[in-house]
Amino acid sequence: MAILNADLHCHSVVSDGTLTPEDLAARAAANGVELWALTDHDEIGGQKRALAAAHANGLKYLTGTEISVTFAGETVHIVGLGFDADDERMHEGLLQTRDGRGPRAKEIAEGLAQVGIKDAYEGALKYVGNPALISRTHFARFLVETGVCKDTNEVFRRYLTEGKPGFVPHRWANLKDAVAWITQAGGIAVVAHPARYKFTANEEYALFHEFKAHGGQGVEVVTGSHTAAEYVKYADVAKEFGLAASRGSDFHSPGESHTDLGQLPFLPGELTPVWELLADRIQ
Ligand code: AMP
Ligand code: MN
Ligand code: MN
Ligand code: MN
């Protein structure tokens, strides 16, 4: 059934969202979501709360996370769905992936200090809900608060992306490892928002080819990061590579996200939804 209000991508205060897992579950239910997953960046510390809150709000639940990976010099995000949230290798892999965030954040602050933005590390920390997960998003919120930029998009464009003063190159997990952590824990790996990466056609082909070879099984087709034309393009990619399709808003915050939970179009009917492959993992 492609016609299911599944929202399998969003963030809480456990990573770079501004709502608690409980508030997200209530918001998802109010928006008509039937099947939900909380997918915090490099972190599954919110999973038990999310599952309990899903059930309290009458939602079905899949465990989730969004792992930061470095592929062909770019950061790629791999969503994991339906894995065992108590799996040891998954915990260890995510711990390693989170590991460099503290030193990276200090370097980001040094870069910003050089262009006259002082105390950004301390400023970003005020927005952090989980000390193990300081993200560029937290810096962006601080720069909006202090009036340096009018919104977080502008902060990323002017300060936090490649070539800008607060950009620090970072080595995340390997694609192969991230897919393995998810699949050996009983879950499915999904390429998140593929249209967001600045890949050539050859690099994008290599990403999907290698992802598949490592055991990856899904791709986000309908996401808050894609245009309607990109839904069509990645529906074709799903068919070409024999991947199941996923749907998720990537909701972070009522004030920042354009796409609310559960509001996107349904998946195109000819695709296999990831939740069909995960039927026995739905809680
Ligand atoms: P990090 O994992 O610290 O590199 O931060 C990445 C996060 O920053 C993403 O998950 C998004 O939430 C956010 N982000 C990335 N690019 C942008 C952008 N151009 N505008 C707004 N938020 C962005
Ligand atoms: Mn994020
Ligand atoms: Mn992402
Ligand atoms: Mn995300």
- Give pLDDT, residue 1: 65
pLDDT (tens digit, 9 = 90+) per residue, 228-265? 999 999 999 999 999 999 999 999 999 998 999 999 99
Crossing angle of helices 21-30 and 47-56, in 10° steps, is: 30
Ligand 1: nearest atom to the Cα of 134: 3
The number of the ligand nearest the C-alpha atom of 140 reads: 1
| Ligand 1 geometric centre to CA of 152 (Å) | 9
Ligand 1: nearest atom to the Cα of 16: 12
Instruction: Name 94's Cβ contacts closer than 8 Å, sequence gap at least 6.
Output: 42, 43, 44, 65, 67, 181
* Distance between CA atoms of residues 190 and 229, nearest Å: 20
Among protein residues, the one whose CA lies closest to atom 13 of ligand 1: 137
Total Cβ atoms within 10 A of residue 143: 25
Q: Read off the pLDDT band of 157 (50, 70, 90).
A: very high
pLDDT (tens digit, 9 = 90+) per residue, 113-132? 999 999 999 999 999 999 99
| Ligand 3 geometric centre to CA of 189 (Å) | 14
Q: What is the mean pLDDT of residues 269-276?
A: 97
Question: Quick check: 86 and 118 in contact, CB under 8 A?
Answer: no
CATH class of the domain defined by 101-160? mainly alpha
| Ligand 2 geometric centre to CA of 32 (Å) | 23
Total Cβ atoms within 10 A of residue 244: 21
Q: Rounded to two decimals, what is the model's pTM? A: 0.98
* Distance between CA atoms of residues 15 and 35, nearest Å: 21
Among protein residues, the one whose CA lies closest to atom 12 of ligand 1: 137
CATH 1.10.150.650 in the chain: give the residue spans.
101-160
Query: What is 6-97+172-281's CATH topology?
Result: TIM Barrel (3.20.20)
| Ligand 4 geometric centre to CA of 3 (Å) | 22
Ligand 1: nearest atom to the Cα of 77: 10
Which contacts qualify for 234-243: CB closer than 8 Å, 24 or more apart?
234/194, 234/195, 235/268, 235/270, 235/271, 237/194, 237/208, 238/271, 239/270, 239/271, 241/208, 241/209, 241/212, 242/212, 243/191, 243/208, 243/212, 243/216, 243/217, 243/218, 243/219
Q: What is the mean pLDDT of residues 3-15?
A: 97
CB-ligand 1 contact for 16 (6 Å cutoff): yes
Nearest to 36 by CA among 16, 13, 56: 56
Nearest to 74 by CA among 240, 214, 194, 246: 194
Of the chain, the end-to-end C-alpha distance in Å amounts to: 18
CATH 3.20.20.140 in the chain: give the residue spans.
6-97+172-281
Positive or negative: CA dihedral 44, 49, 51, 54: negative
Question: Quick check: 223 and 247 in contact, CB under 8 A?
Answer: yes
* Distance between CA atoms of residues 184 and 179, nearest Å: 9
Q: Which of helix, strand or coil describes residue 61? A: strand
Residues with CB under 5 A from ligand 3 (ion): 77, 192
CB-ligand 1 contact for 252 (6 Å cutoff): yes
Q: Are strands 64-71 and 218-223 parallel, antiparallel or unpaired?
A: unpaired
Q: Read off the pLDDT band of 277 (50, 70, 90).
A: very high
Nearest to 192 by CA among 85, 273, 79, 80: 79
CB-ligand 1 contact for 41 (6 Å cutoff): yes
Q: What is the mean pLDDT of residues 203-226?
A: 98
DSSP class of residue 64? E
Among protein residues, the one whose CA lies closest to atom 20 of ligand 1: 153
Nearest to 6 by CA among 187, 275, 232: 275
Q: Which of helix, strand or coil describes residue 24? A: helix
Q: Tell me the best of 133, 135, 164 to mutate to test the pocket of ligand 1, counting ligand atoms within 8 Å of each CB and taking the most.
A: 135
Ligand 1: nearest atom to the Cα of 135: 3
